[in-house]
Chain A
Amino acid sequence: GENVEQHPSTLSVQEGDSAVIKCTYSDSASNYFPWYKQELGKRPQLIIDIRSNVGEKKDQRIAVTLNKTAKHFSLHITETQPEDSAVYFCAATTNTGNQFYFGTGTSLTVIP
């Protein structure tokens, strides 16, 4: 089955700096890659996603890049703010969409 690895497990940045979180996957059939933000004690919330026919997607301060050849995708947050502090999870699934494989999470702390 698919194996998703995520790095780093913890990340601290100064407010205003950029944060980058990286994930790799093993199954070349995976073609949809969402990113979720989970604040303490709350539900995971989809913040951005990318499909395998696209190399990059941007939504305001958040962007995701995908390298299908290398089987890795990354989340980029620019101009970080304290409210960006949370755990971020990447995930991957194939075009059946029936089973999602999650990374181990990155705890991001933005220091004011």
Chain B
Amino acid sequence: EPEVTQTPSHQVTQMGQEVILRCVPISNHLYFYWYRQILGQKVEFLVSFYNNEISEKSEIFDDQFSVERPDGSNFTLKIRSTKLEDSAMYFCASTLRLYEQYFGPGTRLTVT
């Protein structure tokens, strides 16, 4: 069964550095999402992406964040200048039709 994949599984970065988190959605899926989950807390929506543009974004998704689908297979989340509070698990998800989302395994981001 096809799965969403994410790399790296764990990223450690210093405060102020830029990070790029990568996701490969399931190949025929059309809708893509990024979520974050701070340790022990709920999953929080960041952004949704369809037809090469952002469909919706939350208040968490400020100017420090950007998303891109550079080559038709990868879906990336960039954080320009990381803060300590960006430390979290970041999940990518994709779906063919609206609703039935399939999550990737996550990237644990640690900002020191």
Contact = CB atoms under 8 A, between A and B. Distances in A.
Contacts of B104: 43
Given A44-B91, A98-B55, A105 B103 contact: no
Given A43-B106, A44-B91, A102 B99 contact: no
B41 A43 contact: no
B18 interface: no
Given A43-B91, A44-B91, A98-B56, A34 B43 contact: no
Given A97-B31, A98-B48, A98-B56, A103 B101 contact: no
Contact of A46 (B55, B56, B58, B102): B102
A99 B58 contact: yes
Q: What DSSP secondary structure best describes chain B's contact surface?
A: strand
Contacts, number: 57
B42 A44 contact: no
Interface in A42-67: 42-46, 49
Nearest to B48: A98
A103 B105 contact: no
8 contacts: A43-B106, A49-B99, A89-B42, A99-B45, A100-B45, A102-B42, A102-B45, A105-B41
Given A98-B56, A100-B45, A100-B101, 12 more contacts: A43-B91, A43-B104, A89-B42, A96-B56, A97-B31, A97-B48, A97-B95, A98-B50, A99-B56, A100-B33, A101-B45, A102-B44
